[in-house]
Amino acid sequence: MGRPPRLCERGAIFHLTSRGNGGQAIFLDNRDFEKFLAVLVEAKRRMLCRVFAYCLMTNHFHLVLRLDRCSVSTTMQYLLTRYASWFNFRRRRTGHLFQGRFKSMLCARDAYLLELLRYVHLNPVRAGLVSRPELWPWSGHRELLGLTHGEIADAAFPLSLFDRAGDSARDAYRRFIDEGMAGGTSFEPVFGPAGSAGIELPEGQRSEPEPSPSLAELGREIEAETGISIRALSGPSRARRVTAARRDLVRRAIGEGCAPSAVAAFLNRSASAVSKAAAS
């Protein structure tokens, strides 16, 4: 490589992953993959995070994010709830889409981050889905190589770990990936307080399963985040801020497995209004 790696100066970098409940598929067709990536782009805008690597598989996904403003929990809650509510509404299903709580690990060392970039982007090859990672359309590998120019992967920092110049950095990154394909690594990510990254997550950001929140608890979360009371959410107001908060509550509730009829009763709305809010 052109120069020794350095730790990212600002923000915390996390490896995040979540699986389908009971191993079920969370992406059934291209539209599902596209929707998840669209929600990820929206999460980037809302949460001011950067995506250094990502890979969507059939029943799980991997993300490497730098979080500059919001917590891991807030960012993942938005991403998972928004996608799960859309997925459930599209297929007229209820219940949990994701298994337990997501897993997260703080990446405190560049050497670990480098291996993680390779591990994440080689997922489809290890699974036997493609012969080379650039053939898999649902990862950030092609963006890091400059083969596509999307709005998802933030390639500048991960490539800077390989070299200063763009073309030489991409060449070094490509060689690094090829070494991994040739069997030059036995790296496996570790989640927990004694992992390779060497950092224990703060309380509230660990990966142990949590019970699903009740509608009242979700309402209090929205109230704390927006300043809009539960009474206002369940009232007749059509003010833009209230409507947006109400819609957010609907999406979170359905994403957590709440029945649409229960959400409708809690908000004093019709079932059709709740369904419309979940799908919008």
How confident is the model over 250-269, as pLDDT tens digits? 887 776 667 777 888 889 88
Q: Which residues contact 10 (CB under 8 A, 6 or more apart)?
A: 68
pLDDT of residue 253: 78
Does the residue 140 lie in any domain? yes
What is the C-alpha separation between 137 and 39, in angstroms, rounded? 17
49 vs 111, more confident: 49
Q: Print the domain residue range for 246.
A: 215-279
141 vs 201, more confident: 141
CB-count exposure of residue 133 (10 Å: 0-12, 13-18, 19+) = buried
Check residue 21 and report its DSSP letter.
G
Does the residue 4 lie in any domain? no
Instruction: Please report, for the domain that includes residue 134, its CATH number.
Output: 3.30.70.1290
Does 69 share its domain with 159? yes
3-state secondary structure of 41: helix
156 vs 71, more confident: 156
Does 113 share its domain with 244? no
Does 45 share its domain with 172? yes
Angle between helices 260-267 and 215-226 (to 10 degrees): 50
pLDDT band at 37 (very low <50, low <70, confident <90, very high): very high
pLDDT of residue 191: 63
* Token pair 């405190």: residue: 108
Least confident of 81-85, 177-181, 195-199, 276-280: 195-199
Given a cut of 80, whether residue 203 has pLDDT beyond it is no
Share of the chain above pLDDT 70, in %: 85
Q: Which residues contact 112 (CB under 8 A, 6 or more apart)?
A: 196, 197
Does the residue 29 lie in any domain? yes
Does the residue 203 lie in any domain? no
**Could you tell me if 116 and 64 are in contact, meaning their C-beta atoms sit under 8 angstroms apart?**
yes
Tokens of 244: 């947006």
Check residue 139 and report its DSSP letter.
B
pLDDT of residue 87: 93
On whether the pTM is more than 0.85, the answer is no
159 vs 208, more confident: 159
Does 240 share its domain with 161? no
Does the residue 151 lie in any domain? yes
Does 33 share its domain with 138? yes
Tokens of 135: 């053939």
pLDDT of residue 105: 87
Check residue 22 and report its DSSP letter.
G
pLDDT band at 69 (very low <50, low <70, confident <90, very high): confident
In sequence order, what E strands does the chain have?
Answer: 12-19, 49-56, 60-67, 103-106
Does 169 share its domain with 247? no
Does 44 share its domain with 106? yes
CA 45 to mean position of chain CA atoms: 13
Using alpha carbons only, give the angle 79, 248, 104 rounded to the nearest 5 degrees: 25
Does 106 share its domain with 23? yes
* Token pair 């908000």: residue: 267
- pLDDT tens figures, 127-177: 999 999 999 999 999 999 999 887 899 999 999 999 887 789 999 999 999
Does the residue 268 lie in any domain? yes
Total number of domains constituting the chain: 2
Does 150 share its domain with 33? yes
Does 79 share its domain with 136? yes
